[in-house]
């Protein structure tokens, strides 16, 4: 009887050891690591095919679309929305016609700070200019856009590399520091 119990115990231990040895280090290397960012997120809600309306004083000012919007609730700090597949915002005039647009490959909206930050391949287009940059911040409190660097292209072909670019919400007034580029002069100008 004793030898049968001991033999059964050895067989069970051998099987257990065999199971453990099949979980080698290679399996641990293949496991996806948990990033520090994921540890800090309490909740992430994903919405597909989003339409965003921005109004001021009960007037629609802008209409945006994003293929994906994640509403992120961090363990500490304010809730924010992230648009990892990009966004397009059309700015509207009083007749609800398009007066300009902003597109980017990524955006993040910080509601508590009233900021929208556009990143990667940001393009602003309106009648007066086309502005290309890698980062553009829309401060809704100041009703201004800000960018550390970018290229301003005017309808006549004039191009200016702009540093510390800022513009009103409708891009009707803009300024920058340390600009350089090329411009075109009409032949009649020199005569």
Q: How do residues 168-183 score in pLDDT, each as one tens digit?
A: 877 788 888 876 666 6
19 and 110 both lie in a single domain: no
176 and 127 both lie in a single domain: yes
Q: What Cα–Cα distance (Å) separates residue 13 from each residue in 17, 19, 161? A: 6, 10, 72
Residue 159 contacts residue 129 (beta carbons within 8 Å)? no
CATH code (residue 49): 2.60.450.10
The number of domains in the chain is 2
pLDDT under 50: residue ranges of the chain: 1, 7, 11-13, 15-16, 18-20, 34-36
CA angle (186, 133, 129) in 5-degree steps: 35
Burial environment of residue 109 by CB neighbours within 10 A (0 to 12, 13 to 18, 19 or more): buried
19 and 54 both lie in a single domain: no
Provide the pLDDT for residue 12: 47
98 and 153 both lie in a single domain: yes
54 and 146 both lie in a single domain: yes
72 and 159 both lie in a single domain: yes
Supply the pTM of this predicted model: 0.68
Task: Quote the domain boundaries for residue 22.
Answer: 1-31
24 and 45 both lie in a single domain: no
């Amino acid at each position: 009887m004793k030898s049968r119990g001991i033999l059964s115990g050895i067989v069970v231990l051998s099987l257990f050891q065999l199971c453990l040895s099949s979980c080698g280090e290679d399996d641990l290397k293949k496991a996806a690591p948990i990033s520090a960012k994921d540890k800090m997120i309490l909740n992430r809600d994903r919405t597909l095919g989003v339409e965003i309306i921005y109004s001021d004083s009960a007037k629609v000012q802008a209409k945006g679309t994003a293929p994906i919007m994640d509403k992120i609730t961090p363990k500490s700090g304010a809730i924010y929305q992230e648009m990892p597949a990009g966004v397009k915002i059309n700015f509207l005039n009083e007749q609800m016609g398009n007066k300009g647009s902003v597109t980017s490959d990524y955006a993040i909206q910080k509601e508590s700070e009233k900021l929208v930050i556009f990143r990667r391949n940001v393009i602003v287009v309106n009648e007066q200019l086309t502005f290309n940059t890698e980062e553009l911040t829309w401060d809704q409190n100041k009703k201004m856009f800000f960018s550390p660097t970018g290229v301003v292209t005017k309808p006549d072909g004039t191009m200016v590399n702009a540093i510390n670019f800022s513009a009103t919400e409708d891009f009707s007034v803009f300024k920058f520091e340390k600009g350089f580029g090329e411009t075109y002069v009409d032949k009649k100008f020199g005569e």
